[in-house]
Amino acid sequence: MPEKLFPNITSPEINDYCKALSSMPSPILQELDMMSQTTDKPQMISGAYLGSLLSMLSKMLRPLTILELGTFTGYGTLCLAEGLQDNGLIYTIEKNSELEGYANEVFGKAGIDDQIVQHIGDAAEIIPTIEETFDLVFIDAAKRQYIKYFDLVLPKMKSGGIIIADNVLWKGKVASDDNDKLGQGLDAFNRYVNAHAEVENVLLPIDDGLHLIRKI
């Protein structure tokens, strides 16, 4: 399976150990991972390790409604779908229309296309048009927009609902002196969430950094 390009925020040994002793993704996810390597930006995919965590969290929460920002090839969507209730729905938003056919094919192959509502366009514009309340939200689209996404989705979350935001440690840069513009935005997001009165949160040094946020 292809290796992801993120550096090891913890240590290479711990990273390898955790990955080696975590459950393998399903054959269809493995196939999708290989297929995604032929896209322009294969590093965009969540991949086996983060995907297994998304799947595990979704299975623990058993959500009825999920929102994903940033579909890419549908890997995260399929992982999140593993915990979805039988009558549940996943809304997923992707701005790059070239990826639509890709994800459609994958969702059909997995036999869950009737549980997925795909939107093509800018997430910040589409979120307000979706009339739904969410149990689980995965924020994984434009890194500069995370505070905006958070403010847009929070009123649509049920009490006890969970937001998972990816890449929030930005290759470890958020905690270093050579942080870049995107990292500064993610640092601002992490601080914003931590100070927000309507949520409780925990930051995890997993993969490129995950922010787990629970609406009180």
Ligand X SMILES: C[S@@+](CC[C@H](N)C(=O)[O-])C[C@H]1O[C@@H](n2cnc3c(N)ncnc32)[C@H](O)[C@@H]1O
Of 38-46, 129-137, 153-161, 191-199, the window that binds ligand X (rule: CB under 6 A) is 38-46
Among 111, 185, 108, which residue's Cα sits nearest to residue 142?
A: 185
Exposed/middle/buried for residue 21 (C-beta within 10 Å: 0-12, 13-18, 19+): exposed
Among 154, 146, 161, 134, which residue's Cα sits nearest to residue 191?
A: 146
Is residue 93 at the binding interface for ligand X, with CB under 6 A as the rule?
yes
Instruction: Rank residues 169 and 198 by Cβ distance to ligand X and give the closer one.
Output: 169
Is residue 96 at the binding interface for ligand X, with CB under 6 A as the rule?
yes
Among 208, 170, 207, which residue's Cα sits nearest to residue 186?
A: 170
Instruction: Rank residues 129 and 159 by Cβ distance to ligand X and give the closer one.
Output: 129
Instruction: Rank residues 90 and 123 by Cβ distance to ligand X and give the closer one.
Output: 123
Is residue 95 at the binding interface for ligand X, with CB under 6 A as the rule?
yes
Is residue 186 at the binding interface for ligand X, with CB under 6 A as the rule?
no
Q: Could you tell me the two tokens for 192?
A: 């914003």
Please state the φ and ψ torsions of residue 165, each to the nearest 5 degrees: -115, 130
How many chain residues interact with ligand X (CB under 6 A)?
18
Distance CA 76, CA 70 (A): 9
Is residue 100 at the binding interface for ligand X, with CB under 6 A as the rule?
no
Is residue 25 at the binding interface for ligand X, with CB under 6 A as the rule?
no
Residues that bind ligand X (CB under 6 A): 44-46, 68, 70, 72, 75-76, 93-96, 99, 122-123, 140-142
